[in-house]
Structure formats: structure tokens, C-alpha cells
Amino acid sequence: MWRTLLAALALATSASLVTAQTGRPDSPAQPTTELPADAPSALREAERDLELAREACDRKDRAACGDHLERALRLLSPSPPVAPEVAREMDALRNGAVERMCELIRHYPSDLPGRDERLALADRVMAAHPSGPRAFQVADDLAYTYEVVGRLDKAGEWKLRAVDAIRQPRDSGGHVDLLQDAMYLFLRAKQYPRALEILGRLRQVVTDKPDDFVQPYADQVLARWEADIRRRQAGRPLTSGRQIAVTVNDVPLVMDPAPKLVDGTVVAPVRAVAETFDASVYWNPHDAKVSLWRPERWTVHDPEPMHGGSTSPYDLITVGAVATLRAALSDRQLNSLDSRLPRSEPVLARFEITDGFDRSFDTPFADGSLSMGFAIRAILYWVYFEPNEPVPRGAAREVVHRTADGKLIGTSHLGPWPAKVRIETVEYVLTPKDVGERRQIAAGSEVIMGAAGWEIDEKHTKVLSTNTVEVGEANSEVAVFDLSLEKVRPISPGFPRSRVTPHQEPGDLAALEQQMRQHLEKSMAEANELEDTLVGRWLTDLDAGYSYSFRDGLQKIR
């Protein structure tokens, strides 16, 4: 059989062999995997080139390594048509040699400037050898994902690099992972041209009109991420390849691909993670655009005329109820941070009020009671710590960070490591302590509510949804969220209980309205500042990107 193979190969490959061998340096090096003595000379030559390329890689000789890999690729290229039995024998040997070549390419030193050459060569191997018993697996192993890395500031500091072995779902090819590591936004695309396209769009978006890309990445986010890189890279040592356990509504969440650790970074599908936090994710393959949408944070707007609609999520009439709820949640938050509590008790790391509407003229509750007042929705972020790890106020641990070769990077001070994060969406019902007096006006009648203040109707307050993310025993070293508790302090108490009587003059009511507005603006500013610093960048806003590590933990309460 081998005589037949050699005879058939002689005419088919003689010209290419002469070209391939011209100028080749002699070397006594022997291949690590011996081929049969009667193997085709082209394959034996390719094996020798692979061994020489391996030696060049070991001594970081990029030029020599690239030359030998290129020569081996030419020698391994499919030959002109031959007899079927000869072709089968050649394919078997070629596939074995190609796998060894792929293995060498995978271990090409990543710190060499020739990484692009390595990737280009890997692409050529996949294109030149699409068939064979393990060709698909080899191609999958060499499926490099090009990673667009953009520094999130307006200086337009961008670069492109490749990350190997990032598993992608086999869908339309429009899968992009948004991760936040240090100060960079990672967008991963399957193909190099696609990555360049995304890179160009990102550069335009961040430098010119940041709001047109992912809605969350706006100016305030760019400014907020100006932080110390070393401090933001803090985290426990992570084991590559470990799967991450995620539950939603206490049901294990099955994701394809499952979240995994890749070189110390947790990689997970955007949709599965974002929708856990009530954000809708959209992918536009035409524009290479990922959009995350969720309710915007409240701001103070002037009420607009009814015929013109209203862009505000609240009216001034809800100010007293909103301020009362904020004060109650603030007290609840500070009480949960009491260091004397056992750590099995959750900490209210953050809360945000997202919506409010008038229930004064709604239908009665199921029990027949009137629903006069307001329904106000809030999202509460509860953090559970390990019960056997006491958390005194200001507690911190020092973590030393080193590179793979042991070189010191820096140190970080970390707090406790949460075991579980629970996100609740709660609809609070707030009712006035007294209804006040109903009086007739020109168009009908009016009722003044809240003159004596507001209170939470616990009976009719209900939890609308609960999402839980757990860090179980199998991934106890995996950081899932950054939950820094910094600058924790009570926000302003509820709106001052100014006495409002039905007989106040219009001027007095206008003054009260102005006082309410000033208080609301102050409360909102303090709440926004608290939300900016209370929890780490991941939970501060979903619009702050994705980070998958607890880094700062519980800090000194100020």
C-alpha cells in the first residue's frame, strides 16, 4: 500500500516539494511523534517543520516559528486527485499531522508579537482542511473569538486583541458578550471582520454619541468608570473551566452556553443574566448593536399638560408618599447593616424606586377596602453572607494579586464574600394618615390627602417577583456580582410633615409645592449619589455594564 501511495504521490507533489524545500535549513531535530518509515515524504517534511516551529516558539523566535508553520501548511495542503485508496491513506496521515499542528498553534506564546500571524495561520488550517474524522472538532478547538476592547472614555483609546477558546452558541452568529473587567468593555465577535466592524461602531458611538449604542453606556457611566485599574481587578483566584450555577426564581437557569470561567473571567450570555434583573436585551445583527432596556431612574420633571402627555414617572402629588417610602427603606437598610446581627440575616445592599401610580380612584382591594393612596414599586437587592464569617463594621481583608509567573501586581482590600443575592420587586401601597376634608370646587370636588403624613399599608403591600443568584459550594470561589457597600448613610428622612388644611390660600399651597419640590430634588440627589456608591458598578445600575466579581465587599460605614 505504501509503495502505491508513494508512486502516486511522486508526480502529484514533486513541483510543490521543490519549492517548499528550497532554502530550508538543515537541522538534526527529530519529530516528537514518529511517522511510519514509508509515509509520504511531504508529510515527513511537514512533521520536521512542526518540530522546528516548536523549538522556535520555545526560544520566542517569532520569525522562524512563523516560517516553519507556513512551510508545514503548504506541505500539508491537499494534493491533486489520486486513487481513492491512496487519498484515504493520505487523509488519515494528514489529519493526524494537522491535529499536531493545531496543538502547536494553540500553544503559540501569547506574549509574542506574532499572535496575529498565529491566528491567521489557524484560520488557514481550518479553511484548507474542512474534512476528516476530527476536522470539525479541530476547527472548533481553533475557533478563535476576536475581542474588541475599548477603554470607556472619550479619548477613543481602542485596541483589538484575540482570545482563544471562548465558546459561542451556534446560532445566527450574532452573539455578543458584554463583560466589564477593569475599565474595559469587551465585545466578542466570532469573525475578525465582524470584530473590526463592531470596533468602528464603538469608536464612533463612544466618542460622538454614546447614547446611541447600548442605552446604559451614557456619559455618567464613562465618568464613573474612571477608577484605579488594580483595585478594580481584585478578586479570588479562579479555576478556569468551572461552570457557574445561577438560579432565577429559585429555579436553576439553564443557559447555552453555560457560564464558565475563562482565564479568570466569568463569561455568560447577556440575555440570561440581564433578564434576571428585569432588563430586556435586544440584538440587531444589521447594526451589530446590543441594547439593554429597563425603567429609567426617576428625576424631577415639571408636570406636563394632559393633552401633551407626561414623560415623568410620577406627579408632584406622590412626593410625600415617595419620600416616606424612601425613609422607611433607608431605615431598613441601615438596620440590616447592624454588625451585631448574625450573618445569616440578609443585608439590604441597595434599593431603587422605579414606578408609582395613583390608586385613589381605583377599584377596591379584594377584601373590599378602598385603595385610596398610591402604589409605588421598588426593587430591593438583598445580599446573604456566609453565617460562619462574622462581618464587623469596617472589616476588610488584604488580597495579594500576582501574575501567572508570580510577579506582584498589587494588593486589594476585600470585605466578606456573599453567598447569595436576592432581587425583589415589591409594590408598596401608601395611604394617607388622614384623608382630610372634601370640598366643592367649580368643576366638582377635591380631597386633600396626606396632610398628616403617609404610612405603608403592609396588608396590601406585595412582592411581585423574586430573582435569586446563588454562589454554591461548587463555585464558592466564583465572584458573581460586585457589591461594594461604600458611603452607606441614611438619606433624608421623609418629607417634613407640614400641616396642610383645606382652607389654605392658593399662595400657601404654591409655597408648599415649592418646598416639596426642593425636598424631592435633594432626596433624589442624595439617593442617586447613594446608588452610585453604595453598590459596585454592576449593581449600581444595570447600565454600568457587567462585572462578575465581588471586589470591595463591606467597607467602613460613613
Please report whether residue 555 resides in a domain. Answer: no
* Range from 36-50, 57-71, 293-307, 320-334 carrying the lowest mean pLDDT: 293-307
Q: Pick the residue with more confidence: 502 or 258?
A: 258
Please report whether residue 550 resides in a domain. Answer: no
Percent helix, strand and coil across the chain, each rounded to 5?
35, 20, 45
465 pLDDT above the threshold of 80: yes
Give per-residue pLDDT as tens, 355-408. Answer: 777 765 545 556 656 557 888 888 887 877 665 554 443 344 455 555 556 666
Q: Taking residues 534-554, report their average pLDDT.
A: 29
Please report whether residue 478 resides in a domain. Answer: yes
- Indicate if 376 and 408 belong to the same structural domain: yes
Q: How far apart are CA 200 and CA 179, in angstroms?
A: 18
pLDDT at 82: 62
- Indicate if 508 and 378 belong to the same structural domain: yes
Q: Of the residues 266, 293, 320, which one is the last residue of a structural domain?
A: 293
550 falls in which pLDDT band (50, 70, 90)? very low
C-alpha cell belonging to residue 95: 489529519
C-alpha cell belonging to residue 107: 500553544
312 pLDDT above the threshold of 80: no
- Indicate if 329 and 277 belong to the same structural domain: no
Q: How far apart are CA 531 and CA 349, in angstroms?
A: 10
* Range from 96-100, 322-326, 458-462, 480-484 carrying the lowest mean pLDDT: 480-484
DSSP annotation string for 375-444? EEEEEEEEEEE-TTS---TT--EEEEEE-TT--EEEEEEE---EEEEEEEEEEEEEEES----EEEETTE
Q: Taking residues 233-238, report their average pLDDT.
A: 31
- Indicate if 137 and 154 belong to the same structural domain: no
Please report whether residue 448 resides in a domain. Answer: yes
Mapping DSSP onto H, E and C, the string for 74-133 reads HHHCCCCCCCHHHHHHHHHHHHHHHHHHHHHHHCCCCCCCCHHHHHHHHHHHHHHCCCCC
Nearest-10 Cα torsion for 428, 433, 438, 444: -10
Please report whether residue 154 resides in a domain. Answer: yes
pLDDT at 521: 59
Residue 243 phi, psi dihedral angles, 5° rounding: -80, 155
DSSP annotation string for 203-260? HHHHHH-GGGSSTT--HHHHHHT-S-HHHHT------TT-B---EETTEEPP-SSPPE
410 falls in which pLDDT band (50, 70, 90)? low
Q: Of the residues 125, 141, 157, which one is the last residue of a structural domain?
A: 141
- Indicate if 423 and 531 belong to the same structural domain: yes
Residue 407: which domain range? 306-544
Tell me the torsion sign for CA atoms 534, 536, 538, 543. Answer: positive
Q: Pick the residue with more confidence: 510 or 177?
A: 510
Please report whether residue 350 resides in a domain. Answer: yes
Instruction: Give the whole-number percent of the chain exceeding pLDDT 70.
Output: 20
CB atoms within 10 A of CB 64: 16
Q: Of the residues 88, 118, 141, which one is the last residue of a structural domain?
A: 141
For all residues of the chain together, what is the average pLDDT?
52
| 330 membership: H or E segment, kind and range | helix 319-336
Q: Taking residues 308-314, report their average pLDDT.
A: 38
- Indicate if 240 and 369 belong to the same structural domain: no
The closest alpha carbon to 416, from 441, 390, 377, 439, belongs to: 390
Q: What is the pTM for the complete model shown?
A: 0.33
* Partners of 146 in the β-ladder: 162, 189
Q: Taking residues 439-445, report their average pLDDT.
A: 57
- Indicate if 359 and 375 belong to the same structural domain: yes
CB atoms within 10 A of CB 503: 9
194 falls in which pLDDT band (50, 70, 90)? very low
545 pLDDT above the threshold of 50: no
Tell me the torsion sign for CA atoms 398, 153, 546, 490. Answer: positive
The closest alpha carbon to 329, from 294, 379, 373, belongs to: 379
DSSP-based three-state secondary structure for 17: helix
* Range from 105-109, 139-143, 287-291, 330-334 carrying the lowest mean pLDDT: 139-143
pLDDT at 453: 78
pLDDT at 210: 35
Please report whether residue 499 resides in a domain. Answer: yes
pLDDT at 249: 43
- Domains of the chain: total: 3
pLDDT at 380: 84
Residue 484 phi, psi dihedral angles, 5° rounding: -65, 130
- Indicate if 278 and 137 belong to the same structural domain: no
Residues in the chain: 558
DSSP annotation string for 521-535? HHHHHHHHHHHHHHS
51 pLDDT above the threshold of 80: yes
Q: Taking residues 254-259, report their average pLDDT.
A: 56
- Indicate if 210 and 356 belong to the same structural domain: no
- Indicate if 213 and 272 belong to the same structural domain: yes
Give per-residue pLDDT as tens, 197-229. Answer: 444 444 444 444 333 333 222 222 222 222 222
Please report whether residue 100 resides in a domain. Answer: yes
- Indicate if 274 and 219 belong to the same structural domain: yes
Instruction: Give the whole-number percent of the chain exceeding pLDDT 90.
Output: 1
462 falls in which pLDDT band (50, 70, 90)? very high
- Indicate if 274 and 137 belong to the same structural domain: no
Q: How far apart are CA 260 and CA 205, in angstroms?
A: 30
